[in-house]
Amino acid sequence: MAIFSLENVSFAYAGYRPSLVDISLAISSGERVALLGANGSGKSTVLHLLNGLYFAQSGQVRAFGTVLTELALDTAPFGPEFRRRVGFIFQNSDAQLFCPNVVEELEFGPLQLGLAKDEIRARVEDTLNLLGISALRDRAPQTLSAGQKRLVAVASALTMAPSVLLLDEPTAGLDARSQGRLLDVLDGMSERGVTLVSTTHDLTILTQMATRSIVLSEDHRIIFDGTSETVLNDEALLTQANLMFRRPER
């Protein structure tokens, strides 16, 4: 059953040309999906629409059977329940880390959801250990490296125990060990039935990130929806989407 669906969705930022044109797709519970496309193709915009942060100018976005509108998200019980179920890791970690230190960052989401404080403390400790960032617990965000910020941003979404995780370029800026650790965590979440929707440029880890890939063209339309293996084997598609460029022999 589809937990998310986009039906003929188009979207444009105010004063700019369209970012998405007539997009239709459905995502089922437990899927691992990657959104692929060149810079500016609209991958991040799709994630923002799925998270109810932007709203389609035409077409419909549905989540858990409800059309995502500002009114629906402002109304209990759907709004708070939606926020509990859907976690979002932003591309700009500085935007996501707005608390004075790492521990408070991880506590923020569960506190807004009204969880018991003992439960929150336990979740924070588990998540810090899981991502290997316990040593950063009292650090202020501005003192962290880009890779550390990215891991803390991931951790801040994990403490909400989402059933859907939307990740905007999750491995960007991570060193090899941190990247491996993050992929391990995502594997574990996937095994527990969490739906993962990621955007990425990194084709080398595509099959580890997702089993299904959706490719957006530079004119903001879906040009492929299928398995990640198929995408990697389709050089013409990758070239068309500006995901690959073969340099002429010199």
Among 24, 28, 92, 227, binds other proteins (CB under 8 A): 92
Output DSSP code: residue 194: -
How many angstroms from the chain centroid is the CA of residue 237? 23
Of residues 48-77, those binding other proteins (CB under 8 A): 48, 51, 53
Distances (CA, A) of 66 to 1, 32, 51, 187: 14, 22, 13, 28
Among 143, 145, 227, 230, binds other proteins (CB under 8 A): 143
- Residue 207: CB minimum distance to other proteins, A: 28
Q: Is 95 in the site for other proteins (CB under 8 A)?
A: yes
Q: Is 172 in the site for other proteins (CB under 8 A)?
A: no
Among 3, 37, 45, 88, binds other proteins (CB under 8 A): 88
- Residue 211: CB minimum distance to other proteins, A: 25
**CB–CB of 19/198 below 8 Å?**
no
Q: What's phi and psi for 240, nearest 5 deg?
A: -60, -40
Of residues 175-234, those binding other proteins (CB under 8 A): none
Single out the residue of 81, 162, 169, 157 nearest to residue 68, CA to CA. Answer: 81
Of residues 111-140, those binding other proteins (CB under 8 A): 111-114, 117, 120, 138, 140
Single out the residue of 65, 25, 32, 67 nearest to residue 46, CA to CA. Answer: 25
Output DSSP code: residue 39: T
Token pair of 49 as six digits:
């629409």
For other proteins, the binding residues (CB under 8 A) are 48, 51, 53, 79-80, 83-84, 86-88, 90, 92, 94-96, 98-100, 104, 107-109, 111-114, 117, 120, 138, 140-143, 156-157, 160
